[in-house]
Amino acid sequence: MLSTLLHMDALEFLPTLADRSIDMIFTSPPFKDEDVIGDYWKFYDIFFKQAMRVASKAVIIIHSATKLNTLITTYPPKRTMVWGKGISQYSYRWNPILLYQISDEYKINKYIWGDAFGIPSVNGKTKVHKYQDPLVLYYTILKMFKDCNLVLDPFMGSGTTGVACKILGKDFIGIDSDFISYDSAMRRITDEQRIGVL
């Protein structure tokens, strides 16, 4: 299992990759308008088109219920799953998980065994990033998809995708433009004592 972490802007990195060079893109991009420079949907459109070009099998995006209407109508997924957070301190207690199939050569419906995941949010001392998602959620979803051995997360945040990939023996490329997030991800992914603990 190989991990490559890059401290740079995803929208600058993605165009450097060849078409269909990554098995799967698995990410939770910025949700809020204030978390991107300029117009949110212009940013998202550039990211989405690059993701669909680069991935060879699937693109999986965990996003926000607040933007679901635009996501479904403008970027219709092949399938949608739901992450229900149970009792939550936030007004939005669930997130859509949007699944995109690149071609009929890799049929994503063949691999999915569940569409709804009731997993609590990350809180307390274990939370190292303000948007950190639970490792068990990422592990569970990634484990479904056989033969997706190279996974890219262009907005890796605290590195949860990378940790899940390491547990599953998948190669991982992670990118983040924020140095604090990049550093946190580096520490989490290389911490052998914590790897394997869900």
Give the pTM: 0.92
Tally of domains within the chain: 1
| DSSP, res 90 | S
The model's pLDDT over 137-188, given as tens digits with 9 standing for 90+, comes to: 999 999 999 999 999 999 999 899 999 999 999 999 999 999 988 998 998 8
User: Alpha-carbon distance 78 to 91, whole Å?
Assistant: 27
Is 109 domain-assigned?
yes
In a domain, 197, yes or no: no
Query: What is the model's pLDDT at position 194?
Result: 60
**Domain membership flag for residue 196:** no
Dihedral angle at the C-alpha atoms of 85, 118, 71, 152, nearest 10 degrees?
100
Local structure of 26: helix, strand or coil: strand
pLDDT tens-digit profile of 82-122? 999 876 555 568 999 999 999 999 999 999 999 999 887 87
Q: At what angle do helices 135-144 and 160-168 cross, to 10 degrees?
A: 50
Q: Is residue 28 part of a domain?
A: yes
**Could you tell me the residue range of the domain that residue 101 belongs to?**
3-190
Tokens 């993701």 found at: 51
Average pLDDT, the chain: 91
Q: Tell me, what CATH number does 35's domain have?
A: 3.40.50.150
